[in-house]
Structure 1
Amino acid sequence: MTSVPIPVSAGEDVEAPLTWGQRKIQRELLAYPDDRYLAFLLVAIPVIGSTVDEIIGALSFVLNESESLRTIYPGADRQRVLGSPGYALELTEGGTTESAHADMMSTRFGPTDLPVRLALVLRDGAPQEIAAVLTHMAVDGIALEFFTSRVADVLAGDTSPWQAWQPRQLAEAQRSPEGLARNARTLAWWEAKYRSAPAAVFPTPVATPGDPRYVEGRMVSFDAATALRTLTHRTRVSPSMVALAGLCAILGEHSGQPRIAVSSLSANRSSAQTLRMMGTLSQDALIVVDTDKPFDDLAAQIWESATSAYTHSTVDPDEQQLVREKVDADRGSPFLRDTVYNDVSSPSIFGQPTPPHTSAIGTTTITMEPSEFMFVSAYATVFRMDSTFEVSLWADTAYLPEEVVVDLLKAWERVLITAAN
């Protein structure tokens, strides 16, 4: 393996406070060191037809441009943007992107490690794919797509300015009088939500966890995709929220609770300054709904609750934690944040075309795989909602045995089809 330097020179080092999103991720990384889903974000960028020098030039451009890709974290609530970070590209001949990712994930990111690890997979000396591993402190899911598309665009010759704040500008805005006043209003919203939410969707573990302890079921359904289009047209609710309505319906039925709370991941880019920000804005949108109602009414309630939740998802995480602990003490039981929803199905958000697929005809498939630790009980991900409905349900078998995961995925499909009909 050969290491080639990537020239990056952006002036002097600069220090600033953390953004709220950075502080939330930093706290979670410290609290849950075994959560590899949280620790590593992976990307593969096809580069067939480009030379090694062209690839180094594109990476140099993007690393110079985006401060979060040059930032380390030397102390509590501090970020340091490095002017000359000393990046290098590892050239791997004859290997695979998967093996390159595995090598780069063999060591966790430390607070003062460079936030991006880069390798170039070659075949007979010709570049095939850039393999990159990024820390969640540098990017969230949306910014990961920005990184991917930006490198590809620069390789194609597009070097038009990237119009967005850098994270330290956002940190300054969050600490301004206007930012602090907005935060106070948001904290009041969170207190009301915590008081209305049940403590957990899965408050009681099963007798014995399975082996493996963590599993992930993945479902591909053509019929659910057809149902989703019908429901979206009829309810005038977005596909993502219709899918979430189906999930909440089955979780309410399974748990026996008429009201449930689901944390939907939010990378809130609601302003012109943050719309294309390369950084981590990852925070929660807490959606609290009553599930014992007809599906169309549930979808409408989900839409209303989600609109408010995403609006109030940007908040100081330390002060938010104090509010949560206050409500926990008053209620006598902690809010567990045990169920998470994550929709990653919209390539159009990033300017990418929808991936091609066959016509919407086929059988439903469900596959189960062993997985790794996450600090929740259930984590639902939506991958596609175009010609297919492709979703996964990760579970801690201490709360959801493997056979229950399969049943819940089947029920998710069934509730959408039944509502559409």
Structure 2
Amino acid sequence: MNSPAPEDTVHPIPPRTLTVAYTGGEERRGPITMGQANMIRCILRDDPTHINIHDVWPVPGGASAEAVTDALRTLAVRHEGLRTTFPHPPGTAPVDQVVAAEGTFTVTVLDHAELPGEPAEYAESVARAARAGRFALEREFPVRITLLTVAGQPAYLALAFSHAVADGSAMAILREEFTELLAGKELPDLASLPPVDLAAVEASPAGLRKSEASLRYWERIIRTGPQEMFAEPRGRRPGTDEEARQLTLRSRRGGRALAGAARRTGHPEATVLMAAWCALVAHRAGQDSCVTAVPSANRFHPRVARSVTTTSQDALLHLDVRVETFDALVARTWGAVLNAYRHSQFDSVRLWEMIGQVTAERGSHFGRDVVFNDVSALPAPLLGTDAQEGDGAEHELVWGPPQALPTRLLAFTYRTAPQLHISLWAAPSLFAPEEAEGFLSGLVLLLEASAAGDVPMGTLTEVTAVRPAERGPDWLRLDGCWVSPDAVRETLGRAVGGLPVHVTGEPGPGGTEAADGTQTTDGGKGPADGTDGTGATDGTDGTAGGAPGTEPCLTAYIARGETPLTPEEAHRALTALIPAAGSGVLAPRRYVLVTDPPAGPDRSDAWRRLKTIDEGTGRGRQV
């Protein structure tokens, strides 16, 4: 999120390595925590530069290198998480953690006649560079430490952490304690649990009940919510990486507007900002709800508040935006966010097993395609130098470097006062540069309008200048998702080896058919056809045509000829392709197998008149 170091930076003095020994800890072993399991899954899968984390600790003037290493040694002995490794056979994921009683770590010393460029930015670049390379979970000390000195005098510590042992809150705790140690202060006794004990709490009956409740909460959303927020002709599949440039908003206008909207509505600024984000995302996507991942620190209880470990997991927010006014949405957001945070502790292995089962039954693919991470409550120094600059900007948008984006829309909120400071990464397949700029500017416009008075949700286009996605008349809303029958037909055709396929929306109760036998409920209308951008034509109902029960069901007709094909085999072949398919692909609710295609292969009524050989949902569980 911060400025990289100049690539031509040269250290005139060769680096040297200090080996620091520590002893006096207690050797322990136990299961890993839910937070550790969640992060380890990402560590084993993702690019290390994405999953490792970093921080920069300024060294107070006058502190010696020996004092710095002594403070680091004290922290290693004090916090079991820093002495933890995760043994596991190759090709498997760890299930246990081992805490060493003693050991060593290294400190790389880079000495300079003077620090190049802006010293804080340079230190930041050194720390960021140390994120490259996967941590060896089974044996490596989980912190890479570089001491930057000027003529032998310590100036900064640049650190890269394994996310298996620390998160943003843990880094803040360590930074605070490091500073106190160098100031000669005595640290208080530990009041929060180390990871081994935290794992025991999670495995208790109460902890297991909490995890089970979280899994049920997530399952409800994954079964019923949109499978992809940005299902539209130009979109890509969630989970398909793109490279997106960072777009940073710094706006004193936005800060004043957020404060004013919070005062007027009587809700916290964080709630108002979340409501505005969800309203604008759903409006732009043409959805009647917003599903967004909201990383949670999970440090609500004193026994976890100051634990040096990784406790962060996703809270999954599913916010229904079908309300008349923005004030009503803000009121709804408060409870929805609390509910999401209550269900952000879970067994990640079981979570992904559940997601796999549910998406196979639903015929969908869950993508973490919208992420909103509000870190404005963290201490300002922890946010890095780039996050602390530009306080005087009335309203500016600045483009930064690109990075691989495994989501469709990612936002970090660094500050809300005196300016609103947000960095956005928007998939270029969905957001042209001017659209990304318009989205952040539209967010400020919505906050300004809310500060002045309540905002009808049906006026979001006029208020924000953000237009909803455009979809052709062939797109349908099915099972809470926007679906392109043509895209489903093409993908299913490939899945069954090129057999003739016809896909149609079968009439639901109250639906009618056109002369060619296709569905003619209002399910094909998108926001460009006259809805308010929330996906509901009357602002109260989320079905495609605005009336309960009229939503069509997708049916696939397959002319199998002599091919021995069953509905189960067709569904299994299709769901295997869906993760890499184009946008708008959802498995049909029903598969109908016939021998040969009709004379009019584009007419649904012609397919319906054929003799059925076999039919079914293709799922083991009826949906």
| In 2, Cα distance between equivalents of 1:300 and 1:156 | 46
Write 1 or 2 for the structure with the bigger share of helix: 1
1:185 and 2:223 equivalent? Answer: no
Aligned to 1:163: 191
Asked if 2 retains the 8 angstrom alpha-carbon contact of 1:213 and 1:398, the reply is no
Between 1 and 2, higher relative CO (CA 8 Å, sep ≥ 6) is seen in 1
SS of corresponding position for 2:86: strand
Residue type of the alignment partner of 2:256: T
Give the one of 82, 85, 89 matched to 2:107. Answer: 89
1:231 and 2:258 equivalent? Answer: no
Give the one of 40, 43, 52 matched to 2:53. Answer: 40
| In 2, Cα distance between equivalents of 1:153 and 1:219 | 34
Give the one of 393, 398, 401 matched to 1:370. Answer: 401
Tell me the alpha carbon deviations over residues 293-347 of structure 1, each in whole angstroms, 9 at most, x when there is no partner.
3221111111110101101111111122232233323322122121111111114
RMSD between superposed Cα atoms in Å:
2.7
The 5 Å alignment of 1:302-381 reads 302-347=333-378, 362-381=393-412
Aligned to 1:67: 80
Distance 1:8 1:345, change over 3 A: same
Identity %: 26
SS of corresponding position for 2:166: coil
Q: Which has the larger radius of gyration?
A: 2
Aligned to 2:541: none
The 5 Å alignment of 1:382-421 reads 382-421=413-452
| In 1, Cα distance between equivalents of 2:285 and 2:161 | 36
Aligned to 2:282: 252
Asked if 1 retains the 8 angstrom alpha-carbon contact of 2:52 and 2:131, the reply is no
Distance 1:273 1:330, change over 3 A: same
Deviation of 1:396 after TM superposition, in Å, equals 2.8
Distance 1:19 1:49, change over 3 A: same
Asked if 1 retains the 8 angstrom alpha-carbon contact of 2:49 and 2:132, the reply is no
Asked if 2 retains the 8 angstrom alpha-carbon contact of 1:220 and 1:364, the reply is yes
1:108 and 2:134 equivalent? Answer: yes
After TM superposition, the score normalised by the length of structure 2 is: 0.63
Q: Which moved more, 1:49-58 or 1:198-207?
A: 198-207
Asked if 2 retains the 8 angstrom alpha-carbon contact of 1:85 and 1:114, the reply is no
The alignment of Structure 1 onto Structure 2 pairs a total of residues equal to 417
Distance 1:43 1:98, change over 3 A: closer
Asked if 2 retains the 8 angstrom alpha-carbon contact of 1:222 and 1:388, the reply is yes
Tell me the alpha carbon deviations over residues 208-246 of structure 1, each in whole angstroms, 9 at most, x when there is no partner.
99xx82211000010110111112222232222211111
Asked if 2 retains the 8 angstrom alpha-carbon contact of 1:221 and 1:388, the reply is yes
Residue type of the alignment partner of 1:238: P
Distance 1:184 1:417, change over 3 A: same
Deviation of 1:183 after TM superposition, in Å, equals 2.1
Tell me the alpha carbon deviations over residues 84-106 of structure 1, each in whole angstroms, 9 at most, x when there is no partner.
23112221111542453255234
Distance 1:30 1:203, change over 3 A: farther
Unpaired stretches in structure 1, ≥5 consecutive residues: none
1:26 and 2:26 equivalent? Answer: no
SS of corresponding position for 1:302: helix
Asked if 2 retains the 8 angstrom alpha-carbon contact of 1:359 and 1:387, the reply is no
Unpaired stretches in structure 2, ≥5 consecutive residues: 1-14, 89-93, 116-121, 453-623
Aligned to 1:151: 178
After TM superposition, the score normalised by the length of structure 1 is: 0.91
Aligned to 2:29: 15
Aligned to 1:266: 296
Distance 1:192 1:397, change over 3 A: same
Q: Which moved more, 1:302-311 or 1:73-82?
A: 73-82
Asked if 2 retains the 8 angstrom alpha-carbon contact of 1:138 and 1:280, the reply is yes
